Amino acid sequence: MANKRKQHNNEAAVLDLPVEKNQQIELTIEDLSHEGNGVGRVEGYTVFVPGALPGERVSVAITKLKKQYGYARLLDIVSASEDRREPPCPIYKRCGGCTLQHFDYQAQLSFKRKLVEDNLRRIGKIEGVTVHPTIGMDNPWRYRNKAQVPIGEEEGGLIGGFYAQRSHEIIDMESCLIQHEKSDFLVNQVKKIASKYGIPAYDEGSHRGVLRHVVTKVGFATGELMIVLITNSDKLPHQQALVEELAREIPDLKSVVQNINTKRTNVIFGDNTRVLWGEEYIYDTIGDVKFAISARSFYQVNPVQTEKLYSKALEYAGLTGQENVVDAYCGIGTISLFLAQKAKKVFGVEIVPDAIEDAKRNAALNGMDNVEFQVGEAEKVIPAWYTLGNRADVMVVDPPRKGCDEALLQTIIDMKPEKVVYVSCNPSTLARDLRILEDGGYRTVEVQPVDMFPHTTHVECVVKLYLK
């Protein structure tokens, strides 16, 4: 132990740091990081403290040292923030599902707005742009329509829950306060009935066992339910008995699907999917638009906030019925169909072929014939479309977390649509891309953060840009 302490002291000395590993100190927390960790400083050296809040004086133990920053474990709160709340979830401190339940909800919304402002200024060098207060939820609980729950085994029975932070230890749960109540019911029924029939859980270490994950989907507007069983084998033991009992025990169940994933991987879904019972799709609506949702469909997980997000995108697009709109990264057509309600024509692009098939099906479901969808990379399809002489009055982009491809940004700059509406799930890549668009002749007019994931650090934004 003495040798270890000496080694840690040497490490701090070599890095010329004001703290040592395992040292206990008091800190004043000045801010929150983008990961939701408290930020304190010792002689200018940054220390991140999970669970601490701005304004708090805390006692901590240093756990990790880097040259520019370190991490510490919260030991005691010497003086608490007025924004501190008692987390209502009994497994909150162990589960890695959400990280801000201890933070007052209105304070969370302010934090997310500040996060966007800081990224715009620091990364995008964008000053003086209106960033509106974050649009939050009246009831920021039970908002998720989809759960992806890893399954494990303890003392012969199945357990299911989310992973502990930074690990693959499953924290068993009966209820998750950010999931729809029906998701809890579905997962618990699968655990109970699969345990009854002795269906073994998958074990990552040995790559043996059958049941890897249970994925549930809930139609908020329709009440329709889907269960997807992710299995490590083509054969599902006691399949008929399991499915019949699930159908008997669960009202509103419309679909039981098996997805087969036999790879050693952290990716949840495999390539093969088949319906074991019921329908291939369940249905839900956002605003006046109806959507068919399959086992593999990407569909926004918070439909209440999605309607607010897309309504803001529609407002920023300012459509009069005369515009041609391009929707890059269109997915299953959610934004495209929202825009098609007011546009002359919408052209949607998406790299995932199954998503495009879903998008076409959703357009037909809503009787919309002013939408066209094409499979491919937006950064290749849209430039090719542009060279054929097609023009976009409004460009809408809703990229993944990595942001827009540079080739797509350059195409936007070349095409010169009058308006660009950027929907973002990552403030840092948003700021980077806005800088490129600003340098290419666009002006960022206003930014609207939307809280899609209460009690987590994630924030979505809708941004309006005009051609200068």
* Alpha carbons 207 and 65: distance in angstroms, whole number: 35
- CA-closest candidate to residue 419, choices 391, 389, 452, 456: 391
Contact (Cβ atoms closer than 8 angstroms) between residue 371 and residue 346: yes
Structure tokens at 118: 């800081």
| Angle (CA) 427 429 433, round 5° | 115
Structure tokens at 329: 């990264």
Contact (Cβ atoms closer than 8 angstroms) between residue 386 and residue 416: no
Position of tokens 């023009």?
A: 391
Provide CB contacts within 8 A for 181, sequence distance 6+.
142, 175
Label the pairing between strands 211-218 and 146-154.
antiparallel
Provide CB contacts within 8 A for 218, sequence distance 6+.
145, 146, 180, 182, 183, 224, 225
Would you give the distance in Å from CA 255 to the centre of its chain?
24
Contact (Cβ atoms closer than 8 angstroms) between residue 332 and residue 291: yes
* Alpha carbons 309 and 311: distance in angstroms, whole number: 6
The H or E element that residue 365 is part of is: helix 353-365
* Alpha carbons 324 and 353: distance in angstroms, whole number: 23
Considering just the CA atoms, what is the radius of gyration of the chain in Å?
Answer: 24
> Is 176 one of the annotated active-site residues of the chain?
no
Provide CB contacts within 8 A for 118, sequence distance 6+.
none
Q: Residues 95, 330, 404, 425: which is the catalytic one?
A: 425
**384-419 burial, b for 16+ CB within 10 Å, e for fewer?**
ebbeeeeebbbbbbbbeeebbbeebbebbbebebeb
Contact (Cβ atoms closer than 8 angstroms) between residue 273 and residue 257: yes
- CA-closest candidate to residue 150, choices 97, 91, 94, 87: 97
Looking at the annotation, which residues are catalytic? Answer: 425
